[in-house]
């Protein structure tokens, strides 16, 4: 029961000294916390009648007890408004913090609009921001900046970090950076919030620019007085994996060991992902073997790495071990193992897992699992079965499934199925540039040159630009990026001279370029030239000039490698005696002594 008339007129001096709570009420109040739901009304009345409610710490604790004793938000607000103490932002914030764990954050927004409470301050927003879903957090963050002023984030580190986290969860990198740059001396939570924001953006968009920004920020952080922690390491290592920046990743790992940072399951998972994405499976396996607090996520990272590198049988063995050790199998686990089967041509194993995933592991098939099964069947030439699967799905097929089957139809010469899938694809994504390139390549494989040219002309008429091929090359910790036909590199003259030398030596070995991948209306000689200037060839040429003899060449490519570049890279690895590790959009290729780890199956 809340008294109608607060006893604001009573002073602290009027507290009767004979009352058992008078000497030191806080310990007694804390002991009553467990019984608060039963005695809360009596306790409230006691504090009011004894005058103990006039002491702010006592009433603050009462407000906290109300979170488990008073279910109604309006009742809690009335409790505050009828306080014998004048309502203050401190008391309002106390009730707000007590309320957040027990109710949806949206209801707590009522505190911001509940007269006659005082104006919210920098202590009001952080907990609300962190407890709110992304869209609500974004609105709150904007409100706080308008209400408190942009300078509040720079003067209060807790608020600044909360704003950074809110903008990061909403993908607002520019807003994150503006808040961060206003903080004179960012602390560890502020650095981590910004780095995590960039890491999330790089992972979601596969944007090399965001990943490169993380490495620059990390360098700034290390040179500051703020030591990184495990959260920092996860963000930085993830960026190294996106860029294929092995040198930076090794340095970050060594830094963590030197500073005695805890390599827990989260850090280990990030390291496994980084090493697999940089082509160092031996180091990934070494980190994985040393994990003491193993979990499903860490297993998933290793399984994904094995799939990415085409180690299907090893992935199945590890999956069996995971199940035997009792780790839960989730949808990511199943997808990783199915992808491993796809890249290794293990059709029966992939089909078995797809058929058993819901019955045996309790994992409901999602669009990604159906897409992977279509890929497995398509690669193996079971195009009729793959089409039947697409037609009989309980969920609507997506464009990626159609693209996968069209590509497989091109490889296996299935024109009719391919054209049916093309109709479905263009219905879903009529303006996607990659679809027109796929169509052009499909018809070229079928030697239907007019249809191939028509696809390119339609793309051009609609003003659709093809995504440019780019390749990243890591040499001695320095990243170099190349685009197709790029001449902006400082060593451009030497690179093109080396390409001429490579062409000559490959020709001596009997290499004849496959120009079906070049669908422009140009002469055959010009088509050969266009192939020679693909981004990965520029990267290989520069690596042969700039790296130490015998050193592995590591390339990250944003598109799927074309058949001629794949064939020529195999020969380069033999002629020049260099191991070339290339990551394209779908998998890794390890070229060594004229052979590729994919077995020409990609």
Q: What pLDDT is attached to residue 58? A: 66
Domain contains 16: yes
| Average pLDDT score, the chain | 81
Percentage of the chain modeled with pLDDT above 90 = 40
Confidence of residue 520 (pLDDT cuts 50, 70, 90): very low
| Angle of helix 331-344 versus helix 296-308 axis, rounded to 10 | 20
Is the same domain home to 588 and 474? yes
Give the mean model confidence (pLDDT) for residues 479-490.
89
Domain of 581?
470-596
Is the same domain home to 502 and 587? yes
Q: What pLDDT is attached to residue 47? A: 67
Distance, CA of 300 to CA of 305 (rounded, Å)? 8
Inter-residue contact 555 to 473 (CB < 8 Å)? yes
Domain contains 271: no
Question: Phi/psi at 550 (nearest 5 deg)?
Answer: 85, -10
Inter-residue contact 66 to 95 (CB < 8 Å)? yes
Is the same domain home to 456 and 538? no
Give the mean model confidence (pLDDT) for residues 567-590.
93
Is the same domain home to 542 and 447? no
Q: What pLDDT is attached to residue 526? A: 38
Q: Collapse the DSSP code of 434 into the 3-class scheme (helix H, G, I; strand E, B; otherwise coil) and give the result.
A: helix
Inter-residue contact 272 to 307 (CB < 8 Å)? no
What residues contact 124, with CB distance under 8 A and at least 6 apart? 89, 92, 93, 96, 111, 112
Domain contains 3: no
Confidence of residue 104 (pLDDT cuts 50, 70, 90): low
Domain contains 190: no
C-alpha count within 13 angstroms, C-beta hemisphere, residue 338 = 26
Q: How many domains does the chain have?
A: 4
pTM flag (> 0.75): yes
Q: Which range, 134-148, 250-264, 266-280, 528-542, has the best average confidence (pLDDT)?
A: 266-280
User: What is the torsion angle, in degrees rounded to the nearest 10, for the CA atoms of residue 350, residue 353, residue 355 and residue 358?
Assistant: -150
Closest Cα partner for 434 from 475, 383, 399, 387? Answer: 399
Distance, CA of 100 to CA of 193 (rounded, Å)? 22
Is the same domain home to 474 and 589? yes
Domain contains 45: yes
Q: CA angle, 541 as apex, 524 and 243 as ends, to 5°?
A: 110
Higher-confidence residue of 563 and 113: namely 563
Is the same domain home to 577 and 507? yes
Distance, CA of 354 to CA of 370 (rounded, Å)? 8
Q: What pLDDT is attached to residue 201? A: 79
Domain contains 107: yes
Residue 490 burial by CB count (10 A; 0-12/13-18/19+): exposed, middle or buried?
Answer: exposed
Is the same domain home to 388 and 435? yes
Q: What pLDDT is attached to residue 211? A: 79
Q: Is the peptide bond before 116 cis (omega within 30 degrees of 0)?
A: yes
Last residue of a domain, one of 53, 87, 114: 114
Q: Six-digit token pair at 389?
A: 């699967």
User: What is the torsion angle, in degrees rounded to the nearest 10, for the CA atoms of residue 234, residue 239, residue 241 and residue 247?
Assistant: -100
Distances (CA, A) of 258 to 250, 251, 254, 255, 452: 12, 10, 6, 5, 57
Last residue of a domain, one of 429, 446, 467: 467
Lowest mean pLDDT, pick from 81-90, 290-299, 489-498, 565-574: 81-90
pLDDT at 280 over 90: yes
Q: Are strands 580-583 and 595-596 parallel, antiparallel or unpaired?
A: unpaired
Domain contains 205: no
Is the same domain home to 448 and 347? no
Is the same domain home to 378 and 319? no
Q: Six-digit token pair at 18?
A: 């004979």
Distance, CA of 451 to CA of 410 (rounded, Å)? 14
Higher-confidence residue of 311 and 462: namely 311
pLDDT at 275 over 60: yes
Closest Cα partner for 338 from 318, 358, 315? Answer: 315
Distance, CA of 162 to CA of 69 (rounded, Å)? 29
Domain contains 269: no
pLDDT at 31 over 60: no
Confidence of residue 100 (pLDDT cuts 50, 70, 90): low
| Angle of helix 399-412 versus helix 367-379 axis, rounded to 10 | 0
Q: Say which CATH number the domain at 425 has.
A: 1.25.40
Is the same domain home to 421 and 491? no
Q: What pLDDT is attached to residue 419? A: 93
Last residue of a domain, one of 437, 467, 497: 467
Is the same domain home to 45 and 92? yes
What residues contact 40, with CB distance under 8 A and at least 6 apart? 65, 66, 69, 70
Q: Position of tokens 């467990």?
A: 34
Instruction: Note the pLDDT tens digit of each residue in 327-350.
Output: 999 999 999 999 999 999 899 999
Q: What pLDDT is attached to residue 7? A: 37
Q: Point out which residues pair with 580 in neighbouring strands.
A: 553, 591
Is the same domain home to 347 and 314? yes
DSSP-derived secondary structure for 27-82: HHHHHTGGGHHHHHHHHHHHHHHHSGGGSHHHHHHHHHHHHHH---HHHHHHHHHT
Inter-residue contact 344 to 566 (CB < 8 Å)? no
Q: CA angle, 329 as apex, 327 and 333 as ends, to 5°?
A: 120
Give the mean model confidence (pLDDT) for residues 55-61.
66
């Amino acid at each position: 029961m809340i008294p109608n008339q607060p006893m604001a007129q009573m002073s602290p001096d009027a507290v009767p000294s004979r009352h058992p709570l008078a000497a030191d009420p806080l310990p007694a109040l804390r002991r009553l916390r467990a019984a608060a739901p039963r005695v809360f009304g009596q306790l409230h009345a006691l504090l009011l009648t004894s005058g103990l409610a006039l002491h702010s710490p006592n009433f603050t604790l009462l407000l906290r007890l109300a979170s488990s004793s008073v279910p109604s938000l309006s009742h809690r607000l009335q409790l505050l408004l009828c306080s014998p103490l004048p309502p203050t932002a401190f008391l309002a914030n106390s009730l707000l913090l007590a309320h957040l764990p027990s109710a949806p954050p949206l209801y707590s927004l009522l505190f911001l609009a509940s007269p006659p409470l005082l104006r919210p301050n920098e202590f009001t927003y952080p907990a609300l921001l962190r407890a709110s879903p992304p869209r609500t957090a974004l609105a709150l963050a904007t409100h706080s900046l308008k209400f408190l002023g942009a300078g509040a984030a720079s003067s209060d580190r807790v608020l600044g970090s909360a704003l950074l986290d809110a903008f990061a969860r909403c993908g607002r990198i520019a807003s994150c950076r503006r808040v961060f740059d206003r903080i004179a001396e960012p602390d560890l939570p502020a650095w981590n919030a910004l780095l995590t924001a960039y890491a999330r953006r790089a992972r979601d968009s596969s944007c090399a620019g965001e990943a490169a920004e993380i490495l620059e920020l990390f360098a700034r952080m290390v040179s500051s007085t703020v030591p990184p922690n495990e959260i920092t390491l996860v963000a930085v290592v993830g960026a190294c994996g996106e860029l294929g920046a092995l040198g930076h990743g090794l340095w970050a790992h060594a830094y963590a060991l030197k500073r005695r940072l805890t390599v827990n399951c989260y850090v280990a998972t990030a390291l496994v992902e980084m090493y697999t994405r940089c082509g160092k499976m031996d180091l990934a396996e070494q980190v994985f073997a040393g994990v003491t607090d193993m979990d499903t996520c860490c297993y998933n990272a290793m399984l994904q790495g094995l799939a990415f590198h085409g180690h299907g049988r090893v992935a199945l063995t590890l999956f069996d071990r995971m199940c035997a050790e009792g780790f839960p199998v989730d949808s990511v686990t199943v997808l990783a193992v199915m992808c491993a089967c796809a890249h290794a041509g293990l059709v029966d194993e992939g089909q078995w897992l797809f058929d058993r995933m819901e019955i045996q592991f309790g994992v409901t098939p999602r669009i990604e699992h159906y897409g992977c099964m279509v890929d497995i069947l398509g690669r193996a030439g079971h195009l009729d079965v793959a089409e039947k699967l697409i037609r009989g799905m309980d969920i609507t097929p997506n464009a990626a499934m159609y693209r996968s089957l069209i590509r497989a139809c091109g490889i296996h010469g299935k024109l009719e199925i391919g054209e049916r899938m093309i109709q479905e694809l263009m219905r879903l994504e009529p303006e996607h540039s990659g679809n027109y390139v796929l169509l052009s390549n499909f018809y070229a494989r079928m030697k239907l040159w007019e249809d191939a040219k028509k696809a390119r002309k339609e793309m051009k008429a609609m003003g659709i630009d093809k995504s440019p091929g780019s390749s990243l090359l890591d040499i001695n910790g320095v990243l170099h990026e190349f685009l197709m036909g790029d001449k902006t590199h400082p060593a451009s003259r030497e690179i093109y001279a080396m390409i001429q030398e490579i062409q000559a030596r490959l020709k001596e070995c009997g290499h004849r370029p496959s120009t079906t991948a070049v669908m422009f209306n140009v002469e055959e000689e010009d088509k050969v030239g266009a192939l020679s200037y693909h981004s990965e060839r520029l990267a290989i040429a520069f690596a042969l000039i700039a790296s130490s003899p015998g050193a592995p060449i590591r390339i990250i490519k944003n598109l799927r490698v074309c058949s001629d570049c794949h064939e020529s890279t195999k020969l380069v690895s033999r002629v020049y005696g260099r191991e070339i590790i290339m990551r394209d959009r779908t998998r890794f290729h390890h070229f060594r002594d004229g052979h590729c780890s994919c077995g020409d199956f990609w």
